[in-house]
Structure 1
Amino acid sequence: MKVEIVPVTASKQQDIVTLQEIAAKSFTAMFGPYHEPQAVKTYTDEAYALPVLIRELSDPDSRTYFLKLNDTPVGYLKLNWRMAQTDQVFENAMQLQRIYLLPEYWNQHLGSYLMDKALDEAKKSRVKTVWLGVWEHNDRARHFYERYGFKKAGSHTFVIGQDRQTDYWYALQLDE
């Protein structure tokens, strides 16, 4: 099994289309069973629209990486610094905004490759805090983050359609 983590760039049209497909499919697999289907579709259509992804990929304060398994993208990671962060809640921080795998690759310990890359990028950028938002009912993801030392540090509201849900902010303080 060959595992690689490679940057996604706005200059490669196929990368953007593949990212859109993985993002929509993985988000729908995670949230679809708990929300009205049309609301999930509307969310993914808006959040992962090609112009939105191109803008995100072009932001110098954001980086996105594919996780490739035997040369096939099966997941991705999106990291944000400075003003690219969705919320300005921690000083000198990096946001792990998205870490997703296609559902057929869940429970194969592949997420650890993405998390290791995220933490490596955080150390290289010399931030003090890595933070993320995770749905309060996503026990699998919360336990995954807790294994890496992330701790609950607050909460905010995340909206899908008419459903207002609670996301926890999890933070990891890095050693100097």
Structure 2
Amino acid sequence: MDKPIFLNHQLSLSRIQTEDQPLLFTLMDEVYKAPYRYVWEDGGDWYVNLIYNRHTLRKELSRERTHYFFVEWQERKIGILKYDFPFSPREIEIPNAMKLHRLYLHKEAHGQGIAQALLDHCETIAKQNQLDSIWLESMDCQVQAKRFYEKMGFQKVLAYTLDFERIFPEYRRILILKKDLK
């Protein structure tokens, strides 16, 4: 088993393994659905079941480019971090880049500098791997997240409409944000 990655004395990352799926599912059922419930016809059940089931987790962990972690703060699992590299979006070419795929934190952890520490970690990894940029997707309706990423140096490069029928139509706009590292 991999050793945890300590980002500071209270914050660490532990690699998610296939056998962690029940814990991952339970955590994300709470952490994801709380802030995103309003965008889904079913409150987010379909999405959580799709993304955090055993089959999807096994498939994601089998990819060499995937790096998937529990975020632990004060010795408690409070969220997840997943990044993939090299990886470019389908909608626009972003060569030699890292995708910040998932960064979800329990609402109790907001405002503690944790998300910034996680982004700093991603930047360090990207630079160590000689990547040119980091990109992510954010729902346009998630104003707080969008504001945070812009404050961290990310800029909008594209907007598109997500084709998930279970998301209410007015919330389907997705932004691709990018931060250049060179």
- Asked if TM exceeds 0.5, the reply is yes
- 4+ runs deviating over 4 angstroms: none
Q: Distance in 2 between matches of 1:95 and 1:141?
A: 16
By percentage of residues, which structure has more helix? 1
- Give the match for residue 64 of structure 1: 68
Q: 1:138-158: CA deviations, max 9, x gaps?
A: 111111111211000001222
Displacement of 1:160 in angstroms is 5.4
Report the aligned-residue RMSD. 2.0
In the alignment, which residue of structure 2 is the partner of 1:7?
15
Superposed, 1:91-170 pairs within 5 Å as 91-158=95-162, 159=164, 161-164=166-169, 165-170=172-177
Q: C-alpha distance in 1, partners of 2:149/2:111? A: 14
Which runs of 5 or more structure 2 residues have no equivalent in the other structure? 1-8
Counterpart of 1:21 in structure 2 is 26
Q: Distance between the aligned counterparts of 1:5 and 1:113, measured in 2?
A: 11
What TM-score do you get using the length of structure 2 for normalisation?
0.83
> Counterparts of 1:28 and 1:160 in 2: how far apart (Å)?
17
Deviations 1:65-106 (A, max 9, x none): 2211122111111101246x6636311111001100022322
CA displacement, residues 112-170 of structure 1 (integer Å, 9 cap, x when unaligned): 22211211111111111110000111111111111211000001222251534111000
Cα distance in 1 for residues equivalent to 2:61 and 2:165? 23
**What's the secondary structure of 1:172's corresponding residue?**
strand
- Cα distance in 2 between the residues matched to 1:23 and 1:116: 23
Identity rate, percent: 22
